[in-house]
Amino acid sequence: MIIEREQPEIREPIGVLGYGEEGRSTCRYLLGRGFADITVFDRNPPLELAEGRLPGLRLGGKGGSESYLEGLSGMRTLFRSAGVRPDFPEISACLEKGGTLTSQTGLAFALAGRRRIIGVTGTLGKGTACSLLLAMLSEAGIKARLGGNIGIPALDLAASLEPGEFLILELSSFQLSALAQSPAMAVVLRTTSEHLDWHASREEYLLHKANLVVRQRPEDLLIHFADAQGSAWIAERSAARKIAFGSGAEVRIGPAPGALFGGVSGIMPGSHAFVPVDLPAGQYALICFVPDAKDGKPHFAHGMAKLIKVT
């Protein structure tokens, strides 16, 4: 398995593999820090990149063709976007020449430090768990920001993290496939199998997911779902202190600890609406399920949730 450099030294020329959301974020970071020899390798590059209209960036290979990675082996630092497999022959050729492999996620770990990162993965429920975790930390007065596979790219957040602030990262199997560090705090939700058109097998999928925890230390923390075989298999590979949840685990899953209150009200963009609710005293969660106009995800997936107490 190819693994990235834990603390990458960024040397030019730099190759950025993929110019999607992660690739664009990586280029912004590099350009903002004075790097000038940056080549983007993308099978389907945007027109402005193909025509050389993005200052500081040039298109490598033969964009739009199977030869889009041509020239990659001449780079000294490679930033792999999540959707690019780390075992491409062109990547291996670059590494054999002394090149360094990293990624958006890998550099975010290097900048923020593993002790300030809470990594969350699983086949199901990552976005919901991350959003609720952010809301709980906020209610407890703990500063945290949420990104990664949900919302803001990890590097954008890690580069501007404030002292004492934590970084919650939703991490996919693609982002974890070559990651060299494990966070001090990790959550493994129900994990079965997914993306088998990208992963060579279910076993490889689980191995890539396990990169979240395999480099954890005894003083670290892992919370994992015990009822799914894949989740339990991943947890066994961590040296961290473990808290299992599930039907027969240390933390048991039972009936929902509350009831649904509220109603439905139509609302137009730029306006507001009210839903009258008669609430008895107690603890409540305000959660917005309105889909975001940009990515279609419910607003609570972007952190629009709040815990309140009615007295």
Q: Is residue 308 part of a domain?
A: no
Cβ contacts of 5-10, under 8 Å, gap ≥ 24 = 5/100, 5/101, 5/102, 5/106, 5/180, 6/106, 6/110, 6/180, 6/181, 7/110, 8/77, 8/100, 8/102, 8/106, 8/107, 8/110, 9/77, 9/100, 10/35, 10/77, 10/100, 10/102
Q: Domain with 51 in it: what CATH number?
A: 3.40.50.720
Question: Are residues 132 and 202 located together in one domain of the fold?
Answer: yes
Which tens digit of pLDDT belongs to each residue from 62-84? 766 778 999 999 999 999 998 88
41 to 62, 70, 153, 158: CA distances (angstroms): 8, 8, 19, 24
Pick the residue with more confidence: 255 or 238? 238
Last residue of a domain, one of 105, 130, 152: 105
The boundaries of the domain holding residue 58 are 14-105
Question: Are residues 208 and 164 located together in one domain of the fold?
Answer: yes
Return the C-alpha torsion angle 113, 7, 181, 92, nearest 10.
150
Residue 177 has pLDDT above 60, yes or no: yes
Question: Are residues 78 and 118 located together in one domain of the fold?
Answer: no
Number of domains the chain contains = 2
pLDDT band at residue 265 using 50, 70 and 90 as cut-offs: low
Residue 253 has pLDDT above 80, yes or no: no
Last residue of a domain, one of 105, 133, 150: 105
pLDDT band at residue 269 using 50, 70 and 90 as cut-offs: low
Question: Are residues 98 and 131 located together in one domain of the fold?
Answer: no
Residue 197 has pLDDT above 90, yes or no: no
Q: Are 148 and 105 in contact (CB under 8 A)?
A: yes
On whether the pTM is more than 0.85, the answer is: no
> Two tokens at 32?
């903002």
Which tens digit of pLDDT belongs to each residue from 103-114? 999 999 999 999
Question: Are residues 226 and 130 located together in one domain of the fold?
Answer: yes
pLDDT band at residue 195 using 50, 70 and 90 as cut-offs: confident
Mean pLDDT over 17-42 rounds to: 95
Cβ contacts of 47-54, under 8 Å, gap ≥ 24 = 49/19
Question: Are residues 130 and 241 located together in one domain of the fold?
Answer: yes
Which tens digit of pLDDT belongs to each residue from 5-16? 999 999 999 999
Question: Are residues 74 and 135 located together in one domain of the fold?
Answer: no
Q: Which of 49-58, 119-128, 176-185, 260-269 has the lowest mean pLDDT?
A: 260-269
Query: Which of 70-74, 135-139, 196-200, 251-255 ranks highest by mean pLDDT?
Result: 70-74
pLDDT > 90 fraction of the chain, expressed in percent and rounded: 59
Q: Domain with 240 in it: what CATH number?
A: 3.40.1190.10
Mean pLDDT over 82-107 rounds to: 94
Q: What is the pLDDT of residue 264?
A: 59
Considering the chain, what is the average pLDDT of its residues? 88
